[in-house]
Amino acid sequence: MSYAPQQQYAAHPAGPVPLSAPLYGASFGEAVSRFFKKYSTFTGRASRSEYWWWALVSGLVSMILNFGMLAAGVPGAKIAADGTSVPGPGYIIVLILAVIWFAAVIVPSLALMVRRLHDANFSGWMALLGLVPFVGGIILIVFTVMESKPAGQRFDAPGL
């Protein structure tokens, strides 16, 4: 018998899934909306779709900002006396935007990863594996791709 996560919250068949519950099969918009609504919520669980839709958004915004820094740094770029290149003034503007973006999403991104690990029935502390050079990130990718496990309900916030 296979586990069907979408049937877990049968008490809410006609209404929206509460924020305290993982939203299985989340659409792009729902995933981004829930990401910001649960800004610093490290308890509970997040479905694969919630996690990976946000990973796509985050990756695309980061790529755009990186290409923006490159493109904005070319006009007005100079070569210093020691032979190093000095980017143009536009680089600093896009760099500031990138720092603001990173600062705005670091906490909710960590919270989302912890909730995704909970849904796969792992402790949120496993997110610290990302600090292990080379293999830590690979292990986290494997953990976040894993299917939801019913035992992950132990991480749900009581009373919600």
pLDDT computed for residue 107 by the predictor: 96
pLDDT tens digits along 89-148: 899 999 999 999 999 999 999 999 999 999 999 999 999 999 999 999 999 999 999 999
pLDDT tens digits along 50-100: 999 999 999 999 999 999 999 998 888 888 889 888 898 899 999 999 999
**Dist CA 132 CA 79 (whole Å):** 37
Q: Cβ–Cβ contacts within 10 Å for residue 102, how many?
A: 14
Cβ(126)–Cβ(140) under 8 Å? yes
Residue keyed to tokens 């049937």: 7
pLDDT computed for residue 64 by the predictor: 97
In one-letter notation, the amino acid at residue 119 is D
**What are the angstrom distances between the C-alpha of 60 and each of 11, 25, 38, 41, 53?**
36, 21, 21, 24, 11
**What are the angstrom distances between the C-alpha of 44 and each of 2, 13, 68, 75, 156?**
22, 20, 36, 48, 4
pLDDT computed for residue 20 by the predictor: 83
Distance of CA 51 to the CA centre of its chain: 6
DSSP 40: T
**Dist CA 68 CA 36 (whole Å):** 24
